[in-house]
Every structure is written in structure tokens, then in C-alpha cells.
Amino acid sequence: RAIELSREAVALQPVRIEYRKELAVELLCRNAAGDAGDARAQIDALKAIPAITPLDHVDQRHATALLAAPAAKVCGYSRDWFQESMT
């Protein structure tokens, strides 16, 4: 259900970096067939959006690092606790 709601959020506000990052995290965590490609597409899209707020910049850095992170780290992702060393 989380992925469905995140897809709706992205469809309604496609320029929200945070929404695309959260969808990518959910897809990477679920890791079903096609999810990795869909997550990469969301990350590529969010990196193309100009960052406006400081949190936008953080989310862009984290999104890139999440692609290379182990699944356990992705599934437990929290912006506040994500290690900057992963970026």
C-alpha cells in the first residue's frame, strides 16, 4: 500500500524530491521484479529537479547513496539517521 500511495503522491506533485526519494526507498526495500529499475528511474528524475530547500539537497545526496546501500540499510532508511558517510 505504501508504494501505491507514494506513486499517487509523485503523480500529483512530480517535482517534490522527497516524494520521489521515498518511493525509491520503498521500491528498493520491496525488491520485487522491476523494482530496482523503477527506483533508479525515480532517483534519476529527482536528481534532475532543482533543489530548492536544504532538505532537497540532502534527499538528492541520500537517494544516490541508497542505490549502493545494503538492503537492510535501505529498509531502515530515515533521513535523520542516515549516515552521511554513505553519501
Each residue's pLDDT tens digit, 37-82:
999 999 999 999 999 999 999 999 999 888 888 877 889 888 887 7
pLDDT band (50, 70, 90) for residue 86: low
CA distances for 51 relative to 26, 54, 68, angstroms: 21, 8, 22
pLDDT band (50, 70, 90) for residue 27: very high
Sign, CA torsion 65/82/69/59: negative
pLDDT of residue 87: 44
Mean pLDDT of 26-46: 94
pTM of the model: 0.88
